[in-house]
Structure 1
Amino acid sequence: MVKRTAKRAPRRTDGLSREVIVQAAIDLLDEGGESALTLRALTLRLRTGYGAIYHHVTDKNDLLAAAADDVIARVLAGAVVAAGPREALRGVALGLFDAIDAHPWVGAELSRQPWRPALLDFYESVGRLLHALAVPERARFDAAGALVNYVLGVAAQNAARPGRGPKDTERSTGRGTDQGTGRADFLAGVAEQWSELDPGRYPFVHEAATRLREHDDRDQFLAGVDIFLAGIATLRRT
């Protein structure tokens, strides 16, 4: 009787770098969330051994942090340098919102490690742009904190919405076919509940039910950034 052995995938023959490992980790995280990122899954994805990976990263926590840094670094690298400070600020804020929408695990990682270099670079970028917008030094710290917290909070809430799983490819823009059924069904359910509320007690919420069903998450986020920009404009006159 001939004994059959399972065929193993051939080992990679090209060089393995930290950058290649981080990108593979990002792919695994996007496909299945944090639980999908294991060293075993990574060795299978990269067709290599544990030793080769440990040569470049310390452990899973190091890999998660590096992956988050990479995503945020791309946001800052993609910022339009030629834009004025107001448009640049809108751009970096929207860039981080989109990045967390595309990579929902990033928001949780940044909350756990707010001292990560990429987030500090984002904070520094916001501070420089506020300075360029002539926000007084005494108000700059609070203004920067308010905007960064707004961006991270709304982006994380959007990424964690019900019906959104790690493999969900829907976008939050709500435009045409990009609007996934998970988001649409969830909003429709909430809007239905709002519409049934007593308009005497909840006049605004009752009236907003229709807008909730049809609103665009991305546009609403930018509206919040514009409200922030209108607010800091008053600081220059005080």
Structure 2
Amino acid sequence: MTTRTRRSQRRTEALSRERIVEAAVELLDAAGEGGLTFRALTERLATGPGAIYWHVANKDELLGAATDAVVAAALAVGPTGPPDPPQDGVRAVALGLFDATDEHPWLAAQLSTRLSRGPWASVTPRIFESVGRRVRALGVPEGDWFTATSALVHYILGAVGQNAANTANARTLGPDTNRAGFLDSASRAWEELDPDDYPFVRAVAKQLRDHDDREQLLAGVDFVLTGITARHLPGGQAHTPPAT
């Protein structure tokens, strides 16, 4: 009995929670949420379900852990060395999440679920902390930290979520459909709308065709940052608060 227990402990130690989460991310990337089952996970890890249940209680916990791991890696990407200017830091957060949702098609839906259903769990505080530190470094008054940070987080997540949805929809149109062709078709459809009912949409149809998603994301971040500095800082200029 003692020998069997020791072997079980060694297997449990060798199969870490981190390795389980890594395998879960691989399955999610390959087959989406429907492809993440404990049976598929045990096959990939060449282990029994008991060893996995030792580390995670159920699929929901596993999805949360996978989401948190990908987000943590995305937010860790950025300049090294001295602290980056706050505005550049916010842009790095936005691009990190953008690239993560592009690389992991399942992530956008999970972010929406985790943020709305469990805002106390690790994903929401992690994103809010990453953006909020930059807002504080801008010199925004403390009473406005939550509102300013919320505005940036809501914009970033909305933009990256919409891009992920567009990418997913494009995939359903078949392997021969690429981004340029999809946008060209959408742009042509806008140009054919009734000019009396849709004068603005027709006017920006070419911009839809030619726009770059990453540049558009960063432009939106800059719009929000400009509004924050104009509203909350003297003279509308971002500044670093004095050291205490």
Q: TM-score surpassing 0.5?
A: yes
How do residues 78-157 of structure 1 correspond to structure 2 at under 5 angstroms? 78-80=77-79, 82=82, 83-114=84-115, 115=119, 116-157=121-162
Deviation, 1:193, is 0.8
Deviation, 1:134, is 0.9
Question: 5+ residue gaps in structure 2?
Answer: 1-10, 236-244
Deviation, 1:63, is 0.7
4+ residue runs over 6 A deviation: none
**Residue aligning to 2:61:** 62
Q: Distance in 2 between matches of 1:98 and 1:90?
A: 12
CA deviations on 1:24-75 (whole Å, 9 max, x unpaired) are 1101111111001011111111111111111111111111000001011112
Paired residues, number:
214
Q: How well do the aligned residues superpose, as a CA RMSD in angstroms?
A: 2.2
- In structure 2, give the amino acid aligned to 1:44: E
* Residue of 181, 188, 191 corresponding to 1:192: 188
Q: Give the TM-score of the pair, scaled to structure 2.
A: 0.81
Q: Give the TM-score of the pair, scaled to structure 1.
A: 0.82
Q: Is the 8 A contact 1:104 1:156 kept in 2?
A: no
Q: Distance in 1 between matches of 2:59 and 2:182?
A: 33
CA deviations on 1:178-210 (whole Å, 9 max, x unpaired) are xx8343333222111101123343222112111
How do residues 169-188 of structure 1 correspond to structure 2 at under 5 angstroms? 181-188=177-184
- In structure 1, give the amino acid aligned to 2:225: L
Matched-pair identity in % = 52
SS of the residue corresponding to residue 163 of structure 1 reads: helix
**Residue aligning to 2:170:** 163
- In structure 1, give the amino acid aligned to 2:233: R
Q: Is the 8 A contact 2:114 2:123 kept in 1?
A: no
**Residue aligning to 1:175:** none
* Residue of 203, 208, 221 corresponding to 1:207: 203
- In structure 2, give the amino acid aligned to 1:91: A
- In structure 2, give the amino acid aligned to 1:72: V
